[in-house]
Amino acid sequence: MNEKLWPPLKISLNPNKRVLFLTKDLDLIRKQLYEGLDLKMEDLTIDDLLDDINTDVMTPAWVCFDYDPSKIAENAYAGLLHDGRRVFDAHALKSGNFEVIVSGHRKGTGSSRETAPQCEKWSGIRIVIAASFAPIHERNNINLGQLMGDHSMLQRLQDGESIDLGEFTNKYDPVTRMILENGGIFPFAKKLTAGEIKLPEINKVSRPMTIAEKIISKKLISEDSTKGFVKPGDAVLASVDGGYSHEFTTAQVHEFLKIEYG
């Protein structure tokens, strides 16, 4: 799928791409990576799949020394070890021609590192299947435009069905849904700046607000710059006066901003 066209309104599997199942039987993972074994969801149960896949397994600290996500992807899942040996050799995920990756419960536990979903996206993965996701990891996937679904959706896809994009996005608030349906945070921001998409209307009904709510309300980004009134649970965008990143991500943040904005 062309990056500029992702995601399409109908999601289907590319017959020339593959699905990787992260099974508790690590030999099955090796057979998929190195022997061309292709599995289907109907061959497995959710209990056969790895739970609690940690972001430190996906991109150990030493992998994060690279700021280029395409380089990070070369060592995707370098922390998954068996008998002291890497299950994923260098380039294994990237050269496997996979577009879907599948695991069990609580995908992406551990630290909040953004490099974890990057190692999948820059290896060609566009759809991530799990029974559940760690909240920050889920947010990082959203910001990259990675679609997340469950195992029943995968079975439908493997049976040849095309699934409406909305089935992947309808569970989210309106702003998050727009970010995901426009391919991630950077494409969303570009389209918003260019006036190609419009934000949901903000609440203009006056209400008492806390100090924090007043600060957010004053910084709201809206179509008409009208003052809004926020309340808990609202999905809004607000401008910020400054930000920071720690040493593991500063170079990467700089690189992404340079690529997007020059």
Q: What is the pLDDT of residues 49-71, one digit of tens each?
A: 999 999 999 999 999 999 999 99
Q: What is the pLDDT of residues 122-155, one digit of tens each?
A: 999 999 999 999 999 999 999 999 999 999 999 9
Peptide bond connecting 7 to the previous residue in cis, omega within 30 degrees of 0: yes
If you average pLDDT over every residue of the chain, what do you get? Answer: 94
Percent of the chain whose pLDDT exceeds 90: 82
Residues 6+ apart with CB under 8 A from 163: 10, 11, 12, 149, 153, 156, 157
- Long-range contact pairs involving 56-61 (C-beta distance under 8 Å, separation at least 24): 56/110, 56/111, 56/113, 57/110, 58/108, 58/115, 58/116, 58/119, 58/120, 59/113, 59/115, 59/116, 59/118, 59/119
pLDDT classification of 78: cutoffs 50, 70, 90: very high
Q: Residue range 192-202: average pLDDT?
A: 91
pLDDT classification of 243: cutoffs 50, 70, 90: confident
Q: What is the pLDDT of residues 169-192, one digit of tens each?
A: 999 999 999 999 999 999 999 999
Global pTM?
Answer: 0.93
Q: What pLDDT is recorded for position 52?
A: 97
pLDDT classification of 2: cutoffs 50, 70, 90: very low
Distance CA 141, CA 76 (A): 15
Percent of the chain whose pLDDT exceeds 70: 98
| Residue boundaries of the structural domains of the chain | 3-181, 201-261
Please determine, for residue 83, whether its predicted confidence score (pLDDT) is greater than 80.
Answer: yes
End-to-end CA distance of the chain: 25
Please determine, for residue 1, whether its predicted confidence score (pLDDT) is greater than 80.
Answer: no
pLDDT classification of 3: cutoffs 50, 70, 90: low
DSSP of 196-214, one letter per residue? SS-PPPPP-S-----HHHH
What CATH fold (topology level) applies to the domain 3-181?
A: Aconitase; domain 4 (3.20.19)
Q: What pLDDT is recorded for position 4?
A: 61
Q: Residue range 113-123: average pLDDT?
A: 96
Alpha-carbon torsion 56, 58, 62, 63, what sign? negative
Q: What pLDDT is recorded for position 250?
A: 85
Q: Residue range 230-235: average pLDDT?
A: 92
Q: What is the DSSP letter of 164?
A: E
Please determine, for residue 255, whether its predicted confidence score (pLDDT) is greater than 50.
Answer: yes
